Amino acid sequence: MLESIFMILNKRVLMKIRILTENLQGLGLGHVARCFNLSAVFLEMGYEVDFFVRGNADFMGFINTQMQDSNTLNSQDFYKDSKEYKTSTDSKHLHILEDSNSTKVTESIINFNKNINSNITNFNNKKVIESTFKYFYPLALQWENITHKSLIECDICIIDSYHLNEFKGFLFECFKCCKIVCLLDDDGLYLELFKQNIPNFYILNPNGFYNLQGLESTQIFSGLQYALLNKCFLDSKRIKKKYDFFVCLGGEDKRDISNVILTRLNEFNFSVCVVLGANYKGKLLQDSNIQNNTESNSQNTQKSYIFHNIKQEKLAKLMAESKACIVSGGGIIFEALSVCKSVFALNLANNQNKQIEILQAQGLVKEIKIDFSKNDIKITKKIKKDSINIGTKVRDFASILCMCAINSSLNLTHNKKEKNFKINLNTKLDSIKVTESRTFNTIKLQAINFCNLSASESLRVLQYRNHPFVSKSMYGSAHISAKTHFDFIESLRHEENSKYFLVQEKSEINTSLSHNGYLDIGVVSLTRINLKHKHAYLGIYKNPLLESYNFKNIDSISYGEKLIEVIKFITFNEYNLKMLFLEVFEKNIRAIKLYEKMGFKMCGRLSNYVKIDNEFQDVFVYELKNNLIKIL
C-alpha cells in the first residue's frame, strides 16, 4: 500500500490525561517515582500529562533530578507534530477556571509552571528537556479537595494513593466526570470496589495479586509485565560486577535502617553500594564514603560507596553492577528484579506484605530480616527465575487506556456503527468472475472497519504498520506514534472518502498469532472514494508477522489474494463502483505480479514520483474494472 495509512492530522487532537499521586511525610517518593515513569510513557506517545501530587513532603527535587536525565525519554521518539508551545502564562488549565473558588488553584498553577520553566532554563541539556517535557504539568495540589467539575473532568484519570478510601466522594466524582478511571492497587485494596462492575473503572496491579484472584477482565492489568519502570531499566545491559551488594530502602528511612544494613554488610567484609532517597536525613549523609553522584573511583580500595538522590539511569547502572540487591518493597523491588540476578527484600511497611509474599512464592525474591545472618544472604541462582518479563507491557497498557477513552468519546458523540463484512469466498464472490475455477468453501473471512476495532486490535494494526516489511512500501515510511495512530482512527469517524479494514481469517489452528479463533491476515483500504465517478484507490498490506514467524498458509490461496478478494467485494458489491485503481513502486515486483495475477491492468506511469534511498523511482498505476456495471 503506497499511500501512508496514518496521516499527521492538521489539528492536534487533545486528550487530557491526569495522574494523581501523593508524597506524604515519612512515606518517601515511591508513588511519585512510578507515576513519573508512567507519565514518560504517555509523553512519548505524544500526549499531555497533568501530574498532581498531594501531601506535605517536597517532590520537586526528585522531579528536577529525573528531568535532567536525557535518557528518561528518547527525544527522537517524542511526538513533534504540534506547532503549539505552552508557556507558563498560557497554561491550558486557565480557561477552565471560572469561579472565585478556583482562584488559589489558578495562582498555584501559574506560579508552579513559572518555577518549572525556570528550572528547565537552568538545565544543561535544555533542548532535550524542552522537547521531552513540553507537555508535562506537575503541580503540588491537594487534589482530593477539588470540587470544581471542570478540574475533575478528563479523558483518563490515573490515581496512585493508599488513602483513596478516605476520599470516596472525590473518587465517585471521578467516575462520573472522567471517561476512564484507573487505580494503582498493590494489595487488593480496591478489589471489592472493582466487583461493582463500574464500566469505566480499570485496575493496574504490577505484583500480580489480581491474577491470583482468578478474575478475568479486560479492565485489569495485573502482573510483572505492568511494573512501571523507567526505560533505562528495560534497556539495561549486562555489565561487569563491581559490588557484592546494592542497598536501597527508599523513603525517608526514619529509623536509618540503611545505616544498619551497611554496617552489617561491612562486618561480613562485603563491598556495598548504598543509594539514599531524596528525603533521607540520616547519618550516612555525613559518611566520608558518600559519592559525588558520578562514577566511583575504580582504583579506590574502599568497601562502601554511598549515593544520594541520583538519576534513575545511574540507579539502574549501580544495580546492574551488583551481584545482589537488598531492597524494600514497592517500586524499587521491580527495578531490582529487572537488572539483578539475586534480590533480597526487607518488609518495612504493612502495604508491602502482599507484594513480597507473592514475589517470594514465585521464587523471585527472598525475604530477610534486618538482623540477617551471612547465611541468610547467601547468593544462589535459584532466587530468581531465568526469564521474566518486567515492565514490558506498560506501553500496551497506556495505549489501551487511550483507545478506550477515544471510543468512549466517540460513543457519546457518534452512535453510528460502521459496517463490518463477513465473507465466504465460495458464495459471495462468484459473481465477480475473476476467481476462475477455484473452490473457496473452507475460507471464511471478516473485514473489521477501523472505527470498530477493539483496543487490542488497534494496537496490533499499529505494530503491523510500523514493521519494516510494511513501511518500506509506503509513501510515508516514518515510524507512526501511538497518538498519531489513535488520532487517525478517530478521524475516520468523520471521513466518508476513506475506509480501512483489518482482515481476519477463521482459523482452526491455535497459534500465538490467533485471536479468538481468527488470524489477522492483513489490512485493506479504499481511499479517494468518488461515488459520482464510481472509482476508488486500493491499499493493501499483509500481516508481516505471518512471514516473520514463518506461518504457513493452509490452503492454495495466498494471503495477498485473499486480501484482494475482500477489497474487490467491498468495492464492487458494497459501493457498486466501476473502477478500482492502485499505485505501486516500480521495483515492488512481488506486488506487481500479485496484482496482475488478480486481473489488474497497467494504465499509467508516474515518472520519478518517489525518492527512496536517494534514488527516484517511477510509480505504476493499475486498474481493475467491475464488469458487472455498464456506464451509459
Q: Does position 609 have pLDDT exceeding 90, yes or no? A: no
Q: 238: helix, coil or strand?
A: coil
Looking at per-residue pLDDT, the higher value among 574 and 300 belongs to: 574
Please give the pLDDT value at position 614: 81
For residue range 31-60, list pLDDT tens digits in order. Answer: 898 999 999 999 988 888 999 999 876 788
Q: Which helix (H) or strand (E) covers residue 301, if one does?
A: none
Q: Does position 291 have pLDDT exceeding 90, yes or no? A: no
Please give the pLDDT value at position 225: 93
Which segments of 277-407 are extended strands (E)? 304-308, 322-328, 342-346, 366-368
Work out the average pLDDT over 391-410: 86
Cα distance between residue 245 and residue 194, in whole Å: 40
For residue range 422-451, list pLDDT tens digits in order. Answer: 887 763 444 334 444 444 456 789 999 998
Please give the pLDDT value at position 442: 62
Q: 319: helix, coil or strand?
A: helix
Q: Does position 204 have pLDDT exceeding 50, yes or no? A: yes
For residue range 338-366, list pLDDT tens digits in order. Answer: 888 899 999 888 778 888 998 998 889 99
Q: Please report which confidence band the pLDDT of residue 378 belongs to, taking 50, 70 and 90 as the band edges.
A: confident
> Within 10 A of 469 (CB to CB), how many other CB atoms are there?
14
**Alpha-carbon 261 to chain mean position:** 37
Please give the pLDDT value at position 3: 34
Work out the average pLDDT over 57-85: 52
Please give the pLDDT value at position 627: 77
Q: Please report which confidence band the pLDDT of residue 529 belongs to, taking 50, 70 and 90 as the band edges.
A: very high
Please give the pLDDT value at position 429: 42
- As a CATH number, domain 231-294+302-368 is 3.40.50.2000
Work out the average pLDDT over 257-262: 92
Torsion sign over Cα 510, 512, 513, 518? positive
For residue range 552-599, list pLDDT tens digits in order. Answer: 665 667 889 999 999 999 999 888 999 999 999 998 899 999 999 999
Looking at per-residue pLDDT, the higher value among 507 and 369 belongs to: 369
Q: Does position 407 have pLDDT exceeding 90, yes or no? A: no
Looking at per-residue pLDDT, the higher value among 224 and 236 belongs to: 224
CA nearest 225: which of 237, 209, 208, 238?
208
Q: Please report which confidence band the pLDDT of residue 186 belongs to, taking 50, 70 and 90 as the band edges.
A: confident
Torsion sign over Cα 555, 559, 562, 564? negative
- Give how far Cα 275 sits from Cα of 230, 232, 251, 311, 374, Å: 17, 17, 11, 11, 21
Which grid coordinates belong to 525?
483500504
Q: Does position 139 have pLDDT exceeding 80, yes or no? A: yes
Work out the average pLDDT over 295-321: 76
Q: Where in the chain is the domain with CATH 3.40.50.2000?
A: 231-294+302-368
Q: Does position 1 have pLDDT exceeding 90, yes or no? A: no
Please give the pLDDT value at position 410: 63
Cα distance between residue 314 and residue 299, in whole Å: 19
- The per-residue pLDDT of the chain, averaged, comes to 78
Looking at per-residue pLDDT, the higher value among 287 and 19 belongs to: 19
Cα distance between residue 347 and residue 355, in whole Å: 9
Please give the pLDDT value at position 436: 42
Q: Does position 235 have pLDDT exceeding 80, yes or no? A: no
Please give the pLDDT value at position 567: 93
Looking at per-residue pLDDT, the higher value among 89 and 383 belongs to: 383
Q: Does position 619 have pLDDT exceeding 60, yes or no? A: yes
- As a CATH number, domain 14-66+132-228 is 3.40.50
CA atoms within 13 A on the CB side of 154: 25
Please give the pLDDT value at position 553: 64
For residue range 485-515, list pLDDT tens digits in order. Answer: 888 888 888 888 999 999 999 887 777 777 8
Q: 284: helix, coil or strand?
A: helix
CB 588 within 8 A of CB 473: yes
Please give the pLDDT value at position 104: 46
Task: List beta partners, residue 220.
Answer: 203
414-625 maps to CATH 1.10.3720.10: no
Please give the pLDDT value at position 255: 87
